[in-house]
Structure 1
Amino acid sequence: MALPAADESLWLRRFHPRPNAAVRLVCLPHAGGAASSYAPLSALLPPSVQALAVQYPGRQDRRHDTPLESVHELAQAVFEALRPSAGQGPLALFGHSMGASVGFEVARLLEDELGVVPAVLFASGRPAPSLHRSLGIHRMDDAGIIAELQAVSGTDDRVLDNAELLRLTLPSLRSDYKAAETYRYRPGPKLACDIVGLTGDGDNRVSIEEVAAWKEHTAGSFTLQVFPGGHFYLQEQKAAVAGVLTDTLRAATRTGHPLH
């Protein structure tokens, strides 16, 4: 299918502009998630880290754009948005759940097509690319998808209790779940960039071992960070995660600009 235009203004959101940032952190949402899901985390990052939250088509201010149903298509579109400025200073990637798979494929494109090695890939709440799992959620009826949202506690109750909001949200949700569940790893070289795996110790959708398996996909270093909480541990552990991101980026970029 034809991809929508991939200019930065369409795909990337700066909730807290930081013109003197030493590193850009591209944040990729989970299935059904929007750029705004990263606004609280962006607020907790230091002035030297510029968060760029990705807005997938089919939600919020892009609700009239056709959702994409493939991780590879999403990654290609995000890559095209990043391409013009990819070599202009350190760049890191943070993806949660489906967003981690998208981030992995964006990192591959950056390294393979531009020779740009991300400072770090933060892979959160998602099995390693080579481990495939599908619950068949994208093939469920609307009630089944809503039940899944309730099970993982990642959606605002105000959405779940509002029939009109649900009606507007379900098409992009279904497309995202299809992208996540039909994603298949394509064998290739390991990433040159470091990877940090993050997960909640009570995640009922992803095991700690499945997140630890990300170490097989980097020729650089791998670190595993486990936080209290479930699949959406990030909602309660924002400050702790922001601390890990800041410390890791300070060590990885070594730009001479303190991240404080």
Structure 2
Amino acid sequence: MSTVIDSNRWFRTYAVSALPARRLVVLPHAGGSASFFHHWGSAFDSATEVLVARYPGRHDRLSDPCVESMDELADHITEALLPRLDVPLTLFGHSMGASLAYEVARRLEERHGTTLAALHVSSRKAPHRVVLRTLHREGDEALIAEVRRLGGTDGTLLDDPDLREIVMPAIRADFKIAGTYGPREPVPVGCPVYAYVGDNDQSTTPEQMADWADVAPEGFRLTVLPGHHFYLVEQREPVTSAIAQSWSEHRSGQGGCRNAAR
């Protein structure tokens, strides 16, 4: 028996006052949560509804079992989005979230005949270039060291032993998702792809981000911004402005979600 997905449980929604003209879905990084993108809720015009994914095993979903595979997580996110396809849909994914966004985009096209207005990917190698990693099998200290190296997670959560015990299962599950994903065949998506990376990112270089062009026959653009793996903390305005600009560049962002060719 299939499980019914509660769409509201999977997203924190920053709703607009009237009916939205478009919808942006943000997919956080490994170890990340919806609160990291809190300021994005007010970064766009009044016609844009922003949804940020709420992964299980953290914050107000602390009692929900963590997901440990990319395919399972992508299936859940895809199903949760099905009631929300009434207006053009754009995905933005950072780090692990970029791979997740790509997998959701494929599922929406292949299983549900819906093509995104645009796919935005950040700080993560393309699906055919990612490499397997086994960090999730290491002890807590190795995981914590990697989280600290990358940034993006509140250090107080890792410094306090009690808080660390609470957050470590979700961090380990996310690193398993990211580490066991790929490389995969570069199946093209039917929408433009926009890629972003920091010029001092030690995990993904601008040259590696350029490989996303291999899955973007409908158009590709790479933006390199100052910063490291979490460049988007300091560069939020350039990134959100680029996302908003993408909606005016393509006709697919002016009407309902475009049906994919069968």
Distance 2:66 2:22 in 1: 29
Opposite residue 63 of structure 2, the aligned amino acid is: H
Judge conservation of contact 2:127–2:185 (CA < 8 Å) in 1: no
Is residue 217 of structure 2 the alignment partner of residue 219 of structure 1? yes
Judge conservation of contact 1:3–1:73 (CA < 8 Å) in 2: no
Q: Which runs of 5+ in 2 are unaligned?
A: 256-262
After superposition, what is the alpha-carbon deviation per residue over 1:135-194, rounded to whole angstroms, capped at 9, x for unaligned?
Answer: 422111101111111111211122122221111000010000000010124436411111
Judge conservation of contact 2:119–2:191 (CA < 8 Å) in 1: yes
Q: Which moved more, 1:17-26 or 1:120-129?
A: 17-26
Task: Kindly state the Cα deviation for residue 15 of structure 1 after the two structures are TM-superposed.
Answer: 3.2
Distance 2:110 2:180 in 1: 23
After superposition, what is the alpha-carbon deviation per residue over 1:24-59, rounded to whole angstroms, capped at 9, x for unaligned?
Answer: 011101001111111112221221221110111111
Q: Which moved more, 1:181-190 or 1:41-50?
A: 181-190
Opposite residue 68 of structure 1, the aligned amino acid is: V
Q: Secondary structure at the match of 1:14?
A: strand
Which of 135, 138, 161 is the aligned partner of 2:136? 138
Aligned position for 1:117: 115
RMSD of aligned Cα (Å)? 1.8
User: In the superposition, relative to structure 1, how do residues 153 and 64 fare at CA in structure 2: closer, same or farther (>3 Å)?
Assistant: same
Aligned position for 2:11: 12
Q: Secondary structure at the match of 2:115?
A: coil
Task: Kindly state the Cα deviation for residue 16 of structure 1 after the two structures are TM-superposed.
Answer: 4.7
Distance 1:103 1:242 in 2: 17
Give the number of aligned pairs: 254
Aligned position for 1:71: 70
Task: Kindly state the Cα deviation for residue 210 of structure 1 after the two structures are TM-superposed.
Answer: 1.3
Aligned position for 2:23: 24
Judge conservation of contact 1:35–1:54 (CA < 8 Å) in 2: yes
Judge conservation of contact 1:3–1:77 (CA < 8 Å) in 2: no
Opposite residue 47 of structure 1, the aligned amino acid is: S
Give the fraction of aligned pairs with identical amino acids, expressed as a percent.
38
The two structures have a TM-score, normalised by structure 2, of 0.91
Aligned position for 2:260: none
Q: Secondary structure at the match of 1:47?
A: coil
Q: Secondary structure at the match of 1:143?
A: helix
Opposite residue 71 of structure 1, the aligned amino acid is: M
Task: Kindly state the Cα deviation for residue 93 of structure 1 after the two structures are TM-superposed.
Answer: 0.4
Distance 2:149 2:132 in 1: 16
Judge conservation of contact 1:199–1:208 (CA < 8 Å) in 2: yes
Q: Which runs of 5+ in 1 are unaligned?
A: none
Opposite residue 125 of structure 1, the aligned amino acid is: S
The two structures have a TM-score, normalised by structure 1, of 0.92
Judge conservation of contact 2:247–2:254 (CA < 8 Å) in 1: no
Judge conservation of contact 2:14–2:49 (CA < 8 Å) in 1: no
Aligned position for 2:151: 153
User: In the superposition, relative to structure 1, how do residues 92 and 122 fare at CA in structure 2: closer, same or farther (>3 Å)?
Assistant: same
Which of 156, 164, 167 is the aligned partner of 2:165? 167
Aligned position for 2:92: 94
Distance 1:45 1:17 in 2: 10
Distance 2:171 2:3 in 1: 18
Task: Kindly state the Cα deviation for residue 4 of structure 1 after the two structures are TM-superposed.
Answer: 6.5
Q: Which moved more, 1:149-158 or 1:120-129?
A: 149-158
After superposition, what is the alpha-carbon deviation per residue over 1:108-145, rounded to whole angstroms, capped at 9, x for unaligned?
Answer: 01111111110000010100000122442211110111
Aligned position for 1:195: 193
